[in-house]
Chain A
């Protein structure tokens, strides 16, 4: 997933693209500006959005170090209290719970969600009829485009107290179930929601990797007497390994993000015990209870640890010879 590679901008290794602005670095900045001002004009709208909704808020995180009060002091006059907010965070059992829940959900989904797109890709890849395969692909990609509100609404209609499952159970003389408010099974619920919504889409990258495996390998293996499962084990899985390793590393780098709206939407139904994660904690402690500096401290903590994890994950990816999310160029 080298989406961030800055290929042509890469350093001395790559010579400047032939024909495109010969000797770009010999020009003075004035000459460059004279030549490139239309590009700056084009960049301006994006720059405004990025500055307004990324840079300024990113710097606005100073309120995490303040006893911030929007009415009496604002960001300029609120007293600086150093790391007090952060110290308080680690004495807050709810924050510890948010960390524990986030990490256990990540670990759980690594085991029970992560393999699903791989298996699905193997299944799709083994469908011989092109039309049937296109149809099944079309169906399983679709829920990716549904919103979380919709997915929650659909799951509620299926597994909620008044849902289809409870309805069928009651008709057959059993007791109804309500999985939407059960905090014990919450982790199963959100994992099945994630599988339903995202697994199909997640299979795309593995399908792409499968299509790059040289078919001659299969033939040679078959000639040598390898049956179906041995070919899968010795050719298909090694062919997928680089992608699997890369996505695994990236998922670990993103370990603090377990989904956002999914938890916001269901926190009140199952209670905060099971469903509190970083993002819900930031929202409830900061915006709901009005302690904005405290919430911002939690958000900043998450952002910075997340940053470290991503950088570390990319180091590991590079060490494995992969490109990672960004390459150093």
Chain B
């Protein structure tokens, strides 16, 4: 798709000698298709970001979402961060994401390493108990009763513990750990290193990329989670951002426990709604490029292909 105009006679360097020159119609069609795909993905994000940065006058003039920029203002964001409900929700989501990711990644790395040694004590039953999570889900209601029974309703732990271990991530880590040559680990063992030292000094440093990807998957999961919060969090002061997004942006309901501020009785303005959407997107956009190169490096695909 290089748009460079190569001379009619000269063969583009990227074409193999046997490959025919792409037809103009084919190139045009492919180019159009790519542009359409990019617009479909990026277009909504563009207008949402732009609307969140527009003044209410601009939004009114546009009759809704803003497509053409007309003065940029951070007013909506200023209102959000001066409002206790939304900024508290951002804080809750951030806290749950950070703590949850640390716990999940830690538990999964330890667990995956403990399962990476066939023939060890109780290896098969322990592995089996994790693999069962793939094929059977106990059901929403028994998990709900368990969480309530532990007294975790309205506790932040209800947003972390039920989803703390993802069998998929454990298996990805485990298959990566198992591919580390046994000779390396054995030589460490002969030198007197214990399992913990082997894990933290040898195995983890060799598995930085896959650990980063797994941690990112956990982080994205915690940040995005909505259903568990809907199920367990009755106290609106402890709501994470996903619930605010649903209640306030999708359903346009004012928040029940709203104190004074933007989320009070007045219906939310479009710019503020869109600013909340943007804030909810940002973590994914920030984390994504950090780990994206690992996708292409094949960590995920390699792990998935086993």
Using CB atoms and an 8 Å cutoff, list the residues of chain A in contact with chain B. 1-9, 16-21, 24-25, 29, 32-33, 35-40, 42-43, 45-47, 49-58, 60-61, 63, 70, 75, 120, 123, 126-129, 132, 134, 136-143, 145-150, 152-154, 156-158, 162-164, 167, 170-171, 196, 200, 204-205, 208, 215, 218-219, 222-223, 227-228, 260-261, 264-265, 279, 282-283, 286-287, 292, 295-296, 299-300, 302-304, 306-307, 310-311, 323, 325-326
Contacts and interface: CB of A to CB of B under 8 A. Distances in A.
Contacts of B99: none
Contact of B141 (A215, A222, A287): A287
A172 B157 CA distance: 51
A60 B145 contact: yes
A222 B19 contact: yes
A154 B41 CA distance: 11
A42 B38 contact: no
Contacts of B119: 9, 16, 21, 24-25
B175 interface: yes
Contacts, number: 314
A147 to B, nearest CB: 3
B139 A282 contact: yes
A57 B107 contact: no
Contact of B142 (A279, A299, A304): A299
Given A132-B1, A139-B38, A260-B227, A296 B245 contact: no
B122 interface: yes
Contacts of B47: 157, 164
Interface of B: 1-2, 14, 16, 18-20, 30, 33-34, 37-38, 40-42, 44-45, 47-48, 63-65, 67, 106-108, 110-111, 113-115, 117-124, 126-127, 129-146, 150, 161-162, 164-165, 168, 170-172, 175, 178, 182-183, 185-186, 194-196, 199, 220, 223-227, 230-231, 242, 245-246, 249-250, 274, 277, 280-281, 284-285, 287-289, 292, 295-296, 298, 300-301, 303-306
A61 B138 contact: yes
Contacts of A8: 118, 178
Given A38-B196, A286-B140, A296-B142, 11 more contacts: A9-B118, A17-B182, A36-B120, A40-B114, A60-B142, A139-B41, A140-B41, A146-B281, A147-B226, A208-B301, A287-B141
A167 B47 CA distance: 13
A136 B34 contact: yes
B284 A61 contact: no
A279 B121 contact: no
A196 B40 contact: yes
25 contacts: A4-B131, A9-B118, A17-B118, A17-B182, A19-B186, A42-B199, A46-B170, A49-B107, A49-B164, A57-B142, A57-B143, A60-B138, A129-B1, A134-B296, A138-B292, A150-B245, A150-B281, A163-B65, A208-B305, A219-B18, A292-B145, A303-B138, A303-B139, A306-B137, A311-B135
What is the predominant secondary structure among interface residues of chain A facing chain B?
helix
Nearest to A279: B140
B246 A265 contact: yes
Contacts of B18: 218-219, 222-223
Given A260-B227, A286-B141, A299-B139, A204 B121 contact: no
Nearest to A228: B20
A141 to B, nearest CB: 7
A147 B242 contact: yes
Contacts of A70: 145
Contacts of A227: 20
B111 A154 contact: no
B233 to A, nearest CB: 14
B117 A20 contact: yes
B249 A50 contact: no
For the complex of A and B, 10 pairs with smallest distance between CB atoms: A299-B139, A24-B119, A147-B224, A46-B111, A57-B142, A9-B118, A2-B306, A38-B195, A57-B138, A60-B142
B133 A54 contact: yes
B121 A33 contact: yes
A295 B122 CA distance: 35
Which of B18, B141, B144 neighbours the largest number of chain A CB atoms within 10 Å of its CB? Answer: B141
Which of B20, B33, B129, B298 neighbours the largest number of chain A CB atoms within 10 Å of its CB? Answer: B129
Which of A18, A21, A53, A171 neighbours the largest number of chain B CB atoms within 10 Å of its CB? Answer: A53
A3 B295 contact: no
A314 to B, nearest CB: 9
A123 B30 contact: yes
A307 B48 contact: no
Contact of B64 (A36, A47, A167): A167
Contacts of A35: 120-121
